[in-house]
Amino acid sequence: MERVCLVLGAGAGIGGSVGRRFAADGYYTVLCRRTDQEGLERMVAQIETEGGRAKGHILDATEPDVIENLIVQTERDVGPIDTVVFNLGAQIGNRSVADTSYKAFERCWRIATLSLFRLAHTIAPIMAERGIGNILVTSATAAIRGNAGQHAHAAAVGGRRMLCQSLNAELAPLGIHVAHILVDGAVDAPDTLGKLLGPEAFQKLREERGLEHDGLLLPEKIAETYIHLAQQHRSAWTHELDLRAFSDQAWWNS
Nearer to its own copies, 150 or 192 (CB): 150
Smallest distance from the beta carbon of 232 to its own copies, in angstroms? 7
User: What is the C-alpha to C-alpha distance for residues 189 and 202, in angstroms, rounded to an integer?
Assistant: 9
Is 185 in contact with 217 (CB distance < 8 Å)? yes
Which position among 117, 196, 203, 205 is part of the footprint of its own copies (CB under 8 A)? 117
Interacting residues with its own copies between 124 and 153 (CB under 8 A): 124-125, 142-151
Smallest distance from the beta carbon of 64 to its own copies, in angstroms? 9
Which amino acid is located at 61 in the chain?
A
Which position among 109, 111, 133, 134 is part of the footprint of its own copies (CB under 8 A)? 109
Is 138 in contact with 85 (CB distance < 8 Å)? yes
Instruction: Give the phi and the psi of residue 34 in degrees, each rounded to 5.
Output: -85, -35
The burial of 183, by beta-carbon neighbours within 10 Å (0-12 exposed, 13-18 middle, 19 or more buried), is given as buried
Which position among 34, 175, 196, 197 is part of the footprint of its own copies (CB under 8 A)? 175
Nearer to its own copies, 40 or 154 (CB): 154
Nearer to its own copies, 37 or 94 (CB): 94
Interacting residues with its own copies between 203 and 232 (CB under 8 A): 214-218, 221-222, 224-225, 228, 232
Is 93 in contact with 19 (CB distance < 8 Å)? no
User: What is the C-alpha to C-alpha distance for residues 139 and 183, in angstroms, rounded to an integer?
Assistant: 6
User: What is the C-alpha to C-alpha distance for residues 187 and 167, in angstroms, rounded to an integer?
Assistant: 27
Which amino acid is located at 62 in the chain?
T
Is 239 in contact with 167 (CB distance < 8 Å)? no
CA-CA distances (angstroms) from residue 129 to 47, 70, 121, 146? Answer: 30, 19, 14, 38
Which position among 172, 196, 197, 205 is part of the footprint of its own copies (CB under 8 A)? 172
- Regarding 45 and contact with its own copies (CB under 8 A), the answer is no
Site size with its own copies, rule: CB under 8 A: 81
Which position among 34, 53, 55, 239 is part of the footprint of its own copies (CB under 8 A)? 239
Interacting residues with its own copies between 77 and 106 (CB under 8 A): 96-98, 100, 102, 105-106
- Regarding 35 and contact with its own copies (CB under 8 A), the answer is no
